[in-house]
Amino acid sequence: MPQAYLERMDRSCDRQLNLINSLVETQQLEVWGVPLQCRPLHLSQLVSELAAEWEPRLAQHEARLENLITHDIPVIEADYHQLWRVYENLVANALKHNPTGVQLTLSAELHESQGHNSRMAFVRCLVADTGVGLEPEQIETLFQLYQRGSAARKTTGLGLGLYLCRKL
């Protein structure tokens, strides 16, 4: 068999395995919830590493990722791998559902709120792009199980990625 044919078969098997794993994971999340292993982490470092890893794919899409998360954002308690997955999924969706040349911006804001007996601080992570945007009715259902964008016929997937992001 020609090498190219075997490589296509291998990629196809990988895609199918990823879909099956996503279905299994979705069921596990529904039954047992999200297992998190929170530890102190520097958000700016995580996003810098993510941006470096995604550079080849960004270049392929003629996209640009701007990391506005500075080192002065306090250390947060989070699950590194799960947070990585959320960012990765959002970046992948931005590339998948927009024309080439999209610009992505990752930022974070420190917020404080007053509770009954204490003050709480949290970091809100933001992901934005200059892409085609969404219709208001799409926004309402986008993070629900098995929901896919309006260009779903042109892409692969089951509509699990953003649902998993919401759960995480």
Q: Look up residue 84 and give its DSSP letter.
A: H
The 10s digit of each residue's pLDDT in 14-45 is 677 666 666 666 666 565 666 788 999 999 99
Best CA proximity match to 94, nearest among 137, 125, 64: 64
Rg (CA), the chain: 18
**Of 39-48, 86-95, 127-136, 143-152, minimum mean pLDDT range:** 143-152
Task: Quote the pTM value.
Answer: 0.72
- Give the Å distances, CA to CA, from 3 to 11, 12, 13, 15: 12, 14, 15, 19
> What is residue 49's predicted lDDT score, i.e. its pLDDT?
95
- Rounded CA-CA distance 168/89 in Å is 11
Q: Mean pLDDT in the chain?
A: 81
Q: Look up residue 103 and give its DSSP letter.
A: E
Best CA proximity match to 51, nearest among 39, 73, 69: 69
Q: Specify whether the CB–CB gap between 163 and 146 falls below 8 A.
A: yes
Best CA proximity match to 63, nearest among 89, 93, 107, 87: 93
The 10s digit of each residue's pLDDT in 82-95 is 899 899 989 998 99
- Rounded CA-CA distance 154/102 in Å is 18
Amino acid, res. 160: L
Please name each of the domains of the chain with its CATH number. 1-33+134-168 (no CATH), 37-133 (3.30.565.10)
Chain-centre distance for alpha carbon 75: 20
The 10s digit of each residue's pLDDT in 37-60 is 899 999 999 999 999 999 999 999
**101: pLDDT strictly greater than 90:** yes
Looking at the chain, the whole-number percentage of residues with pLDDT higher than 70 is: 73
Q: Look up residue 106 and give its DSSP letter.
A: E
Reported as a pLDDT band with limits 50, 70 and 90, residue 4 is: confident
Q: Specify whether the CB–CB gap between 67 and 48 falls below 8 A.
A: yes
**150: pLDDT strictly greater than 80:** no
How large is the average pLDDT for residues 152-165?
62
Tally of CB atoms within 10 A around 160:
21
